Amino acid sequence: MKKTLILFALLLVAQIKAQEAEPFVITEDWLSKIQSLAPDPSGTNDSEVKNLLIFSLHTGFEHWTIPHIEAVVQIIAEKSGGFKVTTSKDISVFEKSNLKKYDAVILNNNCSIGPKRDLFWDALEKDNSLSEKARNKKAKQLETNLLNYVKKGHGLMVVHGGIVMQNNSNAFSEMVGGSFDYHPKQQAIQINLVDAEHPMVKCFDPSGFAHIDEPYFFKNAYFDYNFRPLLYLEADKLDGLKNEVPDTIKYVSWIKKYGKGKVFYSSPSHNAQSLENPALLQFYLNGLQYITGSLECDDSPIERNHVGSKTAKSSR
C-alpha cells in the first residue's frame, strides 16, 4: 500500500510538471473523475444534514482554481450525504440574518487587494451611495458578523488563499490562525504529517505526499501557534525564499478552536491537479466533518503541548 501511494505521488508530480500546473477548463469528464475519487459516505453518527456556504469572491489575485475548489468541495460534501451546499460571491451572505442559515462557511481563495487587504471594503467600494465612513463601518460590521458567527459555535474552513481575505485584520488572523506573508515560486513540495495517527490525517500515507504548490509563509497570529498543526513542509528544501529561515518547519494546515466554533485551514492546493489525489479529498471531508462537529479529535494548540513549537518559535 505504501509503495503504491508513493508511486502515485511521484506520478502526480510528474504529471503536474508536464502540464506546468497550467489552468484547465472544468469538463464533465473531470467532474466525473473527482466524483469517482471522492470518499464514499462515511456513516457518521450525525444524522442531521449540515448546511454549508462556499464563498468564492475574490477582489485581488485570482486563483484559477477557484471554480475547481468550489466544484470539488461541493462534490465531496454532497457525496458524503451529510451536507447541503450553497455557493455565493455576494458579501450580503455575511449579514447576520443570512449567516444563521448555515452550519459552516468555506472561504475559497478570497484574496483581497493590497495594501488595505480587506475584501469587504473592496466589494463595498463599488457602491457609490456609500461615503468613505459608511463603507468602513459596513466592512467592519460584516467582518465582525463572521467573527461572532464562528465564535458562537459555527464552523469555518479556509482553503489556500482564503486566509488573505482580511489579511490586515488582527482579529481575523487570530480566528484563522495566521495571515499570509508571502510565497516563493511554485515548485514540487514534500508535505509531511505532524502526527500520522491524528484522525484528520490518517487518510495520508505516513510518509506524506508530494505535489506542486505555492508554499505559503505566514505572519501575525501564526506565531502564537494557537492551533493544532496537521501538515508541514521543510523550508530549507524550497527554492526562492525571500529571507533565510532559522526554523525549517512551516505548518501549512491546522485546526483550531475559536470561541465555541471550529476552524480548519488547508493551504494545499493552488492547483486543481492536486485535487486528483483521493487522500486530499478525504482530508477535505475530514475538515468539513471536524468544523461541523461530527469528527472529534485533538485540536489543542501546540503552545500548550510543545509539539514542534521549540523549533517553530525560534523564528519570533
The rounded average pLDDT for each run of 10 residues, N- to C-terminus, in the chain (316 residues) is 49 49 91 96 74 97 94 96 97 98 98 94 92 96 98 98 97 97 88 97 96 91 96 88 81 98 95 93 98 97 56 34
Domain count, the chain: 1
Dihedral (Cα; 26, 105, 102, 287), 10-degree rounding? 90
Residues 6+ apart with CB under 8 A from 166: 112, 117, 118, 119, 120, 143, 172, 173
Q: What is the pLDDT of residue 32?
A: 98
* pLDDT for the residue 16: 46
pLDDT of residue 238: 82
Confirm if 232 and 252 have CB atoms less than 8 A apart: yes
C-alpha cell at 232: 508541514
Give the Cα separation of 259 and 71 in Å (integer).
30
Q: Give the pLDDT of residue 286.
A: 98
Phi, psi (5° rounding) for residue 258?
-140, 100
Domain that holds residue 177: 2-315
CA distance 266 to 201: 12
Q: Say which residues have a Cβ less than 8 Å from residue 79's Cβ, sequence separation at least 6.
A: 35, 38, 39, 40, 41
* Cell output for 192: 509531511
Rounded CA gap, 65 and 270, in Å? 7
Q: For residue 45, what pLDDT is reported?
A: 57
pTM for the model stands at 0.89
Do the Cβ atoms of 289 and 82 come closer than 8 Å?
Answer: yes
CB atoms within 10 A of CB 162: 28
How far is it, in rounded angstroms, from Cα 286 to Cα 268?
14
Write the CATH number for 49: 3.40.50.880
Residue 55 and residue 112 in contact, taking contact as beta carbons nearer than 8 Å: no
DSSP for 30-83, please give it.
HHHHHHHHSPPP---S--SPEEEEEE---SSS--TTHHHHHHHHHHHHHHHTSE
> What is the pLDDT, as a whole number, of residue 20?
54
